[in-house]
Amino acid sequence: MSEDSESAFDGEVWFITGASRGMGAEFATAALDAGRAVVATGRDTDDVAEAVGEWDDLLVAELDVTKPADAESATQAAMDRFGRIDVLVNNAGISYKGFFEEMTIDEIKHQLEVNLFGQMYVTRAVLPVMRDQRSGHIISISSGAGLSGFAFSSAYATSKFGVEGWMDALHDEIEHFGIDTTVVNPGFFRTTLTSEESMPFTDPAIDDYDERRAEQIEWWKDQGGQQPNDPAKLANALVEIASEEEPPRRFVAGADAVELAKEKAARLREEAEAYPDLSTSMGYDDA
């Protein structure tokens, strides 16, 4: 990949997916406000430009994260404009809501294609740049659902648990090249995630789920505008974290997410110690 650029930027360059609304737009604005150059991407460049505004060191690029060719072309556009990519923020996502048994296979596949494979496609496009630089930082937005699954979000939790495992392993593969990784587990933030575009509901299919489905749909629709956490503060936190010499491998964002992480850690320890004799009796008898 060519590193020639029309106007190389001598500061830090951020590449952000899903920047047309919500957290992605906040991340882009915070990075620009902190003096970084930003490649803000999304499926509709007009939406991205409207959400982020006009900045001298902003490049808006078309990117549907489900299309590897888009990831390659957006990465090349970033290199042509700025000559480097220092921070990749894998933010683009969608959250299908529905009980697993009622969800269509196509919905489940699309959930994984956007949230998991989308992050993989973009990271594969950007990694050669960071490897050549022998520096970089990959920040992947997971979720509280990446720590603990919950009803009506099984496909979403699957996608986020996938991000967690992939990033954990990827860290060990690329740390040698001077590339850092951070998984971010946000709690409930007041974004457009609860909008119809970002949070589609699967169609009813099984009568046995009717009562619980209605309760879940009502609860999720009521969350819009009521989430306790401020996305602008998370954006500023990411700028701070990315500035650290040794960024954390995980950042849990929001008091609600912190409590969830503590509960998961305690439950995991309890489960690991529940059958001490049986669990440790798996070795060969002659060992």
CA atoms within 13 A on the CB side of 6: 7
Structure tokens at 52: 């982020």
Active-site residue, selected from the candidate residues 20, 96, 97, 156: 156
Cα separation, 114 vs 107, whole angstroms: 11
User: Which of 236, 146, 238 is closest to 187 using CA atoms?
Assistant: 146
Active-site residue, selected from the candidate residues 142, 153, 154, 159: 142
CB neighbours of residue 268 within 10 Å = 12
Cα separation, 20 vs 41, whole angstroms: 7
209 assigned to active site: no
Active-site residue, selected from the candidate residues 97, 121, 159, 160: 160
Structure tokens at 255: 């008091």
- 8 Å CB contact between 121 and 66: yes
Helix (H) or strand (E) holding 175: none
Rounded to the nearest 5 degrees, what angle is found at the Cα of 115, between the Cα atoms of 110 and 119?
A: 125
Helix (H) or strand (E) holding 125: helix 118-133
Query: Collapsing DSSP states into helix, strand and coil, what is residue 185?
Result: strand
Partner residues linked to 89 by β-bridges: 16, 139
160 assigned to active site: yes
Residue type, 243: S
- 8 Å CB contact between 120 and 171: no
Classify burial at 51, counting beta carbons within 10 Å of its beta carbon; exposed 0-12, middle 13-18, buried 19 or more: buried
143 assigned to active site: no
Structure tokens at 73: 């072309």
The residues carrying an active-site annotation are: 142, 156, 160
